[in-house]
Chain A
Amino acid sequence: KAGVTQTPRYLIKTRGQQVTLSCSPISGHRSVSWYQQTPGQGLQFLFEYFSETQRNKGNFPGRFSGRQFSNSRSEMNVSTLELGDSALYLCASSPGTGTFTGELFFGEGSRLTVL
């Protein structure tokens, strides 16, 4: 069974640009969550999508947005990039329903550097 796939793995942008990151969940998983990981703040929850709807949202500004497609693949977008957006962005999938416990299956992340 293929794991969670994130693309691209590495990218460099400049301030003011925007970026789109992609995540393909494990087959059959309907929930996709996004986290931002930085050395100073640890893992911060961005949002969770389930069946194409945003079900939960963290405390991030509106520059951070996401969406989920009918095949459960998800994208997140960051507009008007700031230096502080440099981070590892992790996607995690889960069944999202039934016996869901909160256990997450993570991708390897997309490392964003903003210059």
Chain B
Amino acid sequence: AQSVTQLDSQVPVFEEAPVELRCNYSSSVSVYLFWYVQYPNQGLQLLLKYLSGSTLVKGINGFEAEFNKSQTSFHLRKPSVHISDTAEYFCAVSEPGGSYIPTFGRGTSLIVHP
């Protein structure tokens, strides 16, 4: 069975600083990987996804993530954050050929301080 671990429940940073949100997954087969963002009182919105090909994936709002198969990781990065990036971020994994139902991590709260 697949599982996702988001190592940090909360990440505080100052505006314009770089940030990395960590995600590790556990799966015995190939995977699809996703990062979603949730702003207060809203649903989840897809930031980016890895399906195959290049291990560096670029998403919306200047975010990118790198798939590392050997370390089973899919860390999310942004070189310079804004106040508006304050939100909850969820990593998710699904297994092609299976049910495709994604498993979500518990989320990382990114708090950007001025």
Interface, chain A (partner B; CB < 8 A): 4, 6, 33, 35, 41-43, 45, 48, 55-56, 90, 92, 100-109
Q: Are B43 and A102 in contact (CB under 8 A)?
A: no
Q: Are B94 and A101 in contact (CB under 8 A)?
A: yes
B94 CB to nearest chain A CB (Å): 3
| Count of A-B contacts judged by CB separation below 8 Å | 58
Q: Are B32 and A42 in contact (CB under 8 A)?
A: no
Interface, chain B (partner A; CB < 8 A): 32, 34, 36, 41-46, 49, 51, 90, 92, 94-96, 99-107
Residues of chain A contacted by B102 (CB below 8 angstroms): 102, 104
Please name the 3 residue pairs, one residue from A and one from B, whose CB atoms are nearest each other, closest first.
A102-B94, A106-B43, A42-B106
Q: Are A108 and B43 in contact (CB under 8 A)?
A: yes
Q: Which residue of A has the minimal Cβ distance to B107?
A: A42
Complex: A56 Cα to B41 Cα, angstroms: 27
Q: Are A106 and B44 in contact (CB under 8 A)?
A: yes
Complex: A92 Cα to B94 Cα, angstroms: 15
Complex: A13 Cα to B96 Cα, angstroms: 39
Residues of chain B contacted by A92 (CB below 8 angstroms): 43-44
Q: Are A101 and B41 in contact (CB under 8 A)?
A: no
Assuming A43-B90, A102-B94, A109-B42, what are 19 further A-B pairs, CB within 8 angstroms?
A: A6-B43, A42-B104, A42-B107, A43-B104, A45-B103, A48-B99, A55-B99, A56-B101, A100-B100, A101-B49, A101-B51, A102-B32, A102-B92, A102-B95, A102-B101, A102-B102, A103-B46, A106-B44, A108-B42
Q: Are A90 and B44 in contact (CB under 8 A)?
A: yes
Q: Which residue of A has the minimal Cβ distance to B31?
A: A102
